[in-house]
Amino acid sequence: MAETRIPSAQVKDGSLTDADIAAANKDGAAGTASMRTLGTGATQSCAGDDSRLSDNRTDAAAIHDDVSAEISAVAEKTTPVSADLLIIEDSAASNAKKRVQIGNLPTGADAEAFHDDESSEISALTQKVTPENGDHLLIEDSAASNAKKRVLWSSLPGAGAAATVKVKASDETLANSTTLQADDDLTLAVGASETWEFELVLTVSEAANNPNIKLRMGASGGLTGSIEYCWRFWSGTISFGTISDFTTDTGGLSLSTSKVTLTISGTVKGTNAGTLQLEWAQDVSDADATIVHALSKLIAHKV
C-alpha cells in the first residue's frame, strides 16, 4: 500500500488552514465522528459554560406560575369528552403533579349550597321559631336585576316586623277627675314617616255611682300626622264609633262594677316623631274610681 501520510516534520507550522480541512471532518453529520467547532449550529459543539447547559434556562414551551396569558394562547377544545386529560396538583399528595380524566372529576355540586331546582333544602335547616329584629334573610333584589342581598328581619314590610306589645301589670284607677290623662302603660313610640296599625283590648269597670269613662288616642312628645280608629264597647248594649284625629274622645261610656271589654283599633301615620298614647278619664267626676284593669294591652305593627 502506498504511503499517503505526511509526516509531521513535513508540515510547515501554520501552513494548514480551515480551507484545507474538509467540512465533513469539521462538523460532520450527527453520529459521525469528526472535529467540532464551537457554536450554536445543529452540528456544532458548545462550550462548557454555555448558558444552554444551565438548569436556569427558560423552557419556552412550558407553563409557568408567574407568566400571564399562557393558557389562553393554547388551542381550545370546545367540546371536551370524558377521556380528555387535565393536569392537576394533588392536594392529598403534597401537591404532586398528576393527570386526571375529565370523566373522573367530581360533579361540581356543592352539598352546602342552595339551588334553584332542588327540593327540600330549606326545610332541612334548623328552624328558629322566634325571629328577632337582628336576624338576616337572603333575598334577590328586584330593583337591582335580582342581585342577591341580605335584609334585616326588622326591615321587612308589614308582617315581617316584630310586634310591639304593651301589657298593664296592675290596675290603674282615677277618681274625682274628668280631665283626660295618659295611661301609665299603654303608649306607642311613632317615628317620622312611620305607619303603625294598633289595637287595644281594655278591661274596664267602676267602683260605684256611675262615673263611667271616656277615652281617646292622643298625641304627645311632638307627634303629628294622621290617625283613624274605631272603638267598640259592650255593656248591655253595643256602642261603637270612629274617630279621625288626636283630640276627639269617645264621649261617656256607661260602666258597672263588673268588668267589661272595650276595644280600639286603627292606623296612625307620623309626620313628626312622638308618642301615641291612650288617654282616659271619668265622664262624671266622682270619688268612686274608674278602673282600667291589669292585663289590658296594646299590640302594634309597623307597616
Domain ranges across the chain: 130-159, 164-302
94-120 pLDDT per residue, tens:
888 899 998 888 876 677 777 777 788
> What is the spatial distance between Cα 222 and Cα 271, in angstroms, rounded to a whole number?
10
Query: Is 61 exposed, middle or buried, given 0-12, 13-18 or 19+ CB atoms closer than 10 A?
Result: exposed
Q: Which of 269 and 156 is assigned the larger pLDDT?
A: 269
**H helix or E strand, kind and range, residue 287:** none
Which one has a higher pLDDT value, 61 or 83?
83
pLDDT-derived band at 37, boundaries 50, 70, 90: confident
pLDDT at residue 15, rounded to an integer:
67
Q: Could you give the percent of the chain with pLDDT greater than 70?
A: 90
Which one of 146-150, 156-160, 181-185, 208-212 scores highest in mean pLDDT? Answer: 181-185
pLDDT score of 200: 98
Confidence of residue 155 (pLDDT cuts 50, 70, 90): confident
pLDDT greater than 60 at residue 158: no
* Contact between 180 and 248 (Cβ < 8 Å): no
Look at residue 172 and tell me whether its pLDDT is greater than 90: yes
CA distances from 7 to 17, 35, 157, 199, 242 (A): 17, 20, 113, 130, 139
Q: Given pLDDT bands bounded at 50, 70 and 90, which one contains residue 181? A: very high
**pTM for the complete prediction?**
0.51
Of all residues in the chain, the percent with pLDDT exceeding 90 is 46
Q: What is the distance between the alpha carbons of residues 202 and 260, in angstroms, rounded to a whole number?
A: 8
136-158 mean pLDDT: 83
Specify the DSSP class assigned to residue 213. B
Q: What is the pLDDT of residue 7?
A: 61
- pLDDT value of position 228: 97
CATH of 164-302, one of 3.40.630, 3.40.50, 2.60.120, 3.30.70: 2.60.120
The rounded mean pLDDT for the chain is: 86
Band of residue 287 on the pLDDT scale cut at 50, 70, 90: very high
